[in-house]
Structure 1
Amino acid sequence: MFDTNLVVVGNVLAAPEWRRFEEPGSVVANFRIASTARRFDRESNQWVDGNSLRVRVTAWRRLAEGVISSISVGDPVIVYGRLHTRDWKDDNGNNRISYEIEASSIGHDLARGQSAFTRNTSATPPGVGFVDDPGEEPFAALPGSLGDSEPERDGVPERDGVPELEAPAPVEDPSGSPSDEEIALEVERLTADQPAPARRTRRPRKEPVAA
């Protein structure tokens, strides 16, 4: 019901093993990684190894093909996927439990080195084949013709591929409210009709009279 997805950063412990099933395109690859924590020991004044996690990684289909051609022993990798446990019995009949990750993404840890990437080639679409005869038309296998364009559609005429749209008609204001210019003129008229306020005269200061 609930999946446990997590990211594990570690090193590849063994070369990937792979199998191909009868169904076309079904390939599975498995390898083990170890993720070891690092901590600083104050007594020895140096970094030492801490707790370690060893987990088995499973990749399917195109991811498995990339693992087979890209991952080798000792590579620093980053694995993202779904974690689960697997119960099994050893040669002595003892019950064992192992942790496995069904990977969704796998890549190299570029903080610890450099890597080159090659993009997968897309599959050939149905109906398109390779030309064996030099005299054969290169696009003869394609359905239809490359020169056939889409039929014209009835509607708005186009000019240089862009529809020509009519300019929108002016919309009258149904409320009849005045425009900004009319409001500004009315304010100037009202201001001009009002008399200027009278300036307040300063009363002379009375000098004290000597006794």
Structure 2
Amino acid sequence: MLRDNVDFDSLTTPFSTNEIDAVVNEMPPDRAPGLDGFNGAFLKACWPVIKDDFYRLCAEFHEAINDAMHNNNLHLPIPSGRNNQFPVIQYADDTIIVMPACRVQANCMKQILTDYADSVGLHINFHKSTLIPLNTPEETYKDIADIFGCACAQLPFMYLGLPLGTSKPTVLNLTHWICKAERRITAAMSLMSYAGKLALMNSLVTSLTI
């Protein structure tokens, strides 16, 4: 559900230096390095030296998308007269891009993503991405999927562990989540005594909404 008075315009503003600094500060220092060989500890240690270049890189990425929109290479999925910025929305390492079903715009967006990945020494696994068509002819969305080199799926789809769609999820849509919870509960109960199992079951039953 959406709260009232949400500032959706904040989704289209450029990345601030405070946001970028917060991301770097929260990076685990001991994780495996990326393709460039640098891990979180290196970035944190060298951040005072490289941060200005990184700020410019993020600004150029945001500018490239908006320049493409201003040049009519990209269009907003839902027309709006409130601002002239293209929304860039990301949660952790999961990104959803909402675009019109247009082959020209698909080629433009892939080029922007590829150029950005090349500039930071990363690699985008397009084959791990999924195209979710909505009211789009099969021939069109298959052509767009070929442009990105990704698979096609249908609504509802799983995002951050929950089903997303245009209608209320059914019990069948929640089966994956239910089975996952059941496996965890079964594994935990195998290590419990009879009294512990009874206490857990009482807690689960009393927490159910009737």
The verdict on a shared fold, with TM-score over 0.5 as the criterion, is no
More strand by share: 1
Shorter-chain TM-score category? under 0.3
TM-score, scaled relative to structure 1: 0.21
Greater C-alpha Rg: 1
- Give the TM-score normalised by the residue count of structure 2: 0.21
